[in-house]
Amino acid sequence: MPDISPETYVKVAKKGIANPVLQKALAGLQDRFGRGTAEAYRRLPEGPELRFKAHDIREKAIAHLDALLEILAAKIRANGGVVYFAQTAKEAVNYCITVARQNNVHRVVKGKSMVTEEIGLNPALQAAGIEPVETDLGEYIIQLAGEKPSHIIAPAVHKNRHDIADLFVKKTGIRRTTDPSELTQAARKALREKFLSADMGTSGVNIACAETGHITTVSNEGNIRMATTLPRIHIAFMGMERIVARLDEYEILLRLLCRGAAAQTMATYVSYISGPRRPGESDGPDEFHLVILDNGRSRILADPQFKEILYCIRCAACLNVCPVYGKIGGHAYGFAYSGPVGAVVTPLLTGINRAKDLCLGETLCGACMDACPVAIDLPRLLLALREKLAYGDENWQVKPASRMEGLAYKAWSYLIGHRYIYERFLKMAGVGQKLFPRSGTMIRRLPPPLAGWTQSRNFQPLAKETFIEGWRNKKAISNTP
């Protein structure tokens, strides 16, 4: 599989649209989870409005992020854990490798975590001669295939059972079967060996709670419990924003997270971890490390326009309703995060110009905002990014995406501000449009630079008379005695 990055958006999106397996999988996924999540919100005792309360909780947490992280770190240290604050992806990765080397670690079992995908932990571990093993079934499948996750919760959604059967035969040497339960059993068996022989386990953090000093991990498979219970060392990686102050606030967020992620009232496993095993306990890791990651987040925090995206708890509910994600799939977004959240976070983390197609590609339909468990105004954030692209921004080192576009809009605003010239223009355009090929009454093809508009749809021609002309004529008729 070739390298994907935010720059390849258009190319990979086209491939996704042309891939019937992906189209079928995405339609099924959205049909199930999109609707299921909406229904799960409706069934909340507090109703879907609870999402707005969650928004307030997240807003408060982010406003006090410094204090909350300080308290969390102090409590985890008091429980015998080690806390490391990593400014960059590189620092986080290097920390992990250093701990691994100090402890003579050869194999790392990983619980599913998008933040480790963001920092590129797997390739870095491999380069250091350490074997990373993804243990979430979906992640295991795509690791075997040498691909990247295409959905935050369902990373292998782009593969069907036949792809997976072929892959397992080739990579693990099992007898071919396309039965999902037999394939799962094969992975269960192979990964049990890995869990029991690994020296280190890693996980992400769904939500941490400052009041109690715990991080929590959420899973249905139990792989995260295995990865954080059996090996000698557990390292958890946490985006710095994933914290709330109190347990009663955490309660609201966990309920919304389970509903947003998989339309469940509760995930099968939720673990609250505050440190390594204590004296007298015969299992659990000897060492617990928490790596808290900035990697560009403090820059987002400093911008009042974009701060809201830090409220996100990465449940993937927005992917499950997005009409754009539902067609192009996750790989087009070219980074750990896809869908509407990816279209906002990826430009902010990797460069707005670099990832401009991601935010330009979304439709602003607002479905993501209705699905978001913490009611983030994603359309507003997408528009704010487009504004930066239109006018440029020094703080974010954004160059205007297209000078021509800016000029065209300037000319347009002059035109519609001057009635007399505007009407002359419409007259001319009304005559000029007769030159374009038609399909029925619609214009089939426009010349460059407007050709893009008619690439996949027809263009409504200008009416014979403008609304104002029509109005005048109508009045003239009705005034006739």
Residues 193-232 that bind another protein (CB under 8 A): 195-196, 210-212, 214, 220-223, 225-226, 229-230
Q: Report how far apart, in Å, the C-alpha atoms of 74 and of each of 183, 292, 423, 432 are.
A: 44, 13, 69, 72
* Given 108, 191, 358, 359, the residue binding another protein (CB under 8 A): 191
137 belongs to the binding site for another protein (CB under 8 A) = yes
- CB atoms near residue 435 (< 10 Å): 8
Which residue, 75 or 388, has its beta carbon nearer to another protein? 75
Distance CA 242, CA 205 (A): 7
Which residue, 81 or 379, has its beta carbon nearer to another protein? 81
Look at the alpha carbons of 153, 159, 160, 165 in this order and tell me if their dihedral is positive or negative: negative
- Taking the complex as a whole, how short is the minimal distance between the CB of residue 245 and another protein, in angstroms? 5
Contact predicate 302/374, CB 8 Å: no
Question: Which of these ranges, 26-34, 345-353, 400-408, 465-473, lies near another protein under the rule CB under 8 A?
Answer: 26-34
- Taking the complex as a whole, how short is the minimal distance between the CB of residue 72 and another protein, in angstroms? 11
Residue 15's nearest CA partner among 31, 29, 4 is 4
60 belongs to the binding site for another protein (CB under 8 A) = yes
How many amino acids of this chain bind another protein (CB under 8 A)? 95
Which residue, 151 or 314, has its beta carbon nearer to another protein? 151
Distance CA 82, CA 288 (A): 6
Residue 341's nearest CA partner among 249, 241, 248 is 241
Give the burial string for 309-345 (b: 16+ CB within 10 Å, else e). bbbbbbbbbbbbbbebbbbbbbbbbbbbbbbbbbbbb
Distance CA 228, CA 276 (A): 10
401 belongs to the binding site for another protein (CB under 8 A) = no
Which residue, 155 or 347, has its beta carbon nearer to another protein? 155
First to last CA, the chain: 76
* Given 4, 12, 26, 29, the residue binding another protein (CB under 8 A): 29
Lay out the site mask for another protein across 148-187 (x = CB under 8 A, - = otherwise): ------xxxx--xx--x---------------xx-xxx-x
* Given 40, 141, 341, 359, the residue binding another protein (CB under 8 A): 141
Q: Report how far apart, in Å, the C-alpha atoms of 85 and of each of 66, 77, 453 are.
A: 12, 13, 48
276 belongs to the binding site for another protein (CB under 8 A) = yes
Lay out the site mask for another protein across 75-104 (x = CB under 8 A, - = otherwise): --x-xx--xxxxx---x-------------
Which residue, 71 or 443, has its beta carbon nearer to another protein? 71
Residue 284 DSSP label? S
The type of residue at 274 is: S
Within the chain, what is the greatest distance between any pair of CA atoms? Answer: 102
Show the DSSP H helices in 128-279 as ranges. Answer: 137-145, 161-172, 180-197, 223-229, 247-262
Q: Which residue has the tokens 């670690």?
A: 105
268 belongs to the binding site for another protein (CB under 8 A) = yes
Which residue, 109 or 401, has its beta carbon nearer to another protein? 109
209: helix, strand or coil: strand
* Given 28, 47, 432, 449, the residue binding another protein (CB under 8 A): 28
**Which residues ranging from 355 to 374 are in contact with another protein (CB under 8 A)?**
none
* Given 67, 127, 407, 451, the residue binding another protein (CB under 8 A): 67
Residue 243 DSSP label? E
387 belongs to the binding site for another protein (CB under 8 A) = no
- Taking the complex as a whole, how short is the minimal distance between the CB of residue 226 and another protein, in angstroms? 5
The type of residue at 18 is: A
Question: Which of these ranges, 282-290, 325-333, 460-468, 472-480, lies near another protein under the rule CB under 8 A?
Answer: 282-290
Q: Which residues pair with 218 in a beta bridge?
A: 270
Which residue, 266 or 451, has its beta carbon nearer to another protein? 266
Distance CA 113, CA 153 (A): 10
Which residue, 42 or 418, has its beta carbon nearer to another protein? 42
- Taking the complex as a whole, how short is the minimal distance between the CB of residue 279 and another protein, in angstroms? 3
Which residue, 112 or 356, has its beta carbon nearer to another protein? 112
**Which residues ranging from 292 to 351 are in contact with another protein (CB under 8 A)?**
292, 294, 298-299, 301-302
